[in-house]
């Protein structure tokens, strides 16, 4: 799928250049060398190469959002369990953050989930990640629970995860 973003999907407070066109494509082993540096820039506890390889081997949905210049804009990894989709990882490359790409990734995820007749999308987000929580809330996700001591920290106790869900149909 290739498209050009509308003005509404690329806010005026851009930090970097906005690609003219982007496309979705599945993650494969060739992309891992491009994806891993983005993952390490974006997270204090990034996924490893093995995590991504395991996700692909398990048949999870692994979609990349790639610019017309071949730069990685973002990606998501999700798995289907019965009538639910669990979002395992969603990332916008730091150079493309605050430009509306997370919303496009979430829209693509919801479309993919609906095509699989999923009723819900579930995710966990660090309790301290207020920016991500706001994005998810704006997208219609509801905070429905707390997973205590879910995320590792560099030192000291673990961080709680906020459990969020989006109902796709009722």
Is 10's pLDDT higher than 70?
no
Indicate the DSSP class of residue 124: E
Active site residue 96: no
Q: Which of 75, 124, 127, 151 is catalytic?
A: 124
Question: 35 or 13, which is more confident?
Answer: 35
The backbone torsions φ and ψ at residue 40, rounded to the nearest 5 degrees and listed phi first, read -70, -30
**Percent of the chain residues topping a pLDDT of 90:** 84
Asked if 139 and 166 touch (Cβ cutoff 8 Å), the reply is yes
Tell the burial category of 129 from Cβ atoms under 10 Å away from its Cβ (0-12, 13-18, 19+): middle
Is 7's pLDDT higher than 60?
no
Is 112's pLDDT higher than 60?
yes
Other CB atoms closer than 10 Å to residue 77's CB: what's the count? 22
What is the value of pTM for the model shown?
A: 0.88
Active site residue 136: yes
Considering the domain delimited by 19-167, tell me its CATH architecture.
3-Layer(aba) Sandwich (3.40)
- Which residues, including other chains, have CB under 8 Å from residue 69's CB and lie 6 or more apart? 19
Band of pLDDT at residue 160, cut at 50, 70 and 90 = very high
Q: Which of 75, 136, 150, 151 is catalytic?
A: 136
Task: Kindly give the pairing relationship between strand 120-126 and strand 84-92.
Answer: parallel
What integer pLDDT is reported at residue 8 of this predicted model?
Answer: 32
Asked if 87 and 162 touch (Cβ cutoff 8 Å), the reply is no
Q: For the residues 154-161, what does the mean pLDDT come to?
A: 90
Question: 48 or 15, which is more confident?
Answer: 48
Output the six-digit token pair for 51.
């995590």
């Amino acid at each position: 799928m290739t498209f050009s973003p509308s003005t509404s999907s690329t806010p005026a407070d851009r930090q970097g250049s906005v690609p003219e066109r982007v496309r979705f494509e599945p993650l494969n082993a060739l992309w891992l060398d491009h994806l891993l540096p983005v993952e390490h820039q974006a997270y204090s506890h990034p996924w490893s190469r093995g995590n991504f390889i395991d996700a692909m081997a398990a048949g999870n949905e692994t979609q990349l959002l790639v610019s017309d210049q071949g730069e990685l804009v973002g990606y998501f990894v999700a798995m289907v369990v019965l009538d639910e989709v669990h979002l395992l990882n969603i990332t916008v490359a730091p150079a493309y953050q605050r430009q509306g790409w997370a919303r496009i990734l979430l829209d693509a995820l919801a479309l993919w989930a609906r095509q699989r007749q999923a009723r819900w999308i579930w995710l966990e987000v660090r309790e301290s990640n207020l920016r991500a929580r706001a994005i998810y809330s704006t997208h219609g996700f509801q905070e429905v629970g707390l997973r205590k001591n879910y995320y590792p920290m560099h030192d000291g106790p673990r961080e709680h995860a906020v459990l969020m869900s989006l109902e796709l149909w009722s």
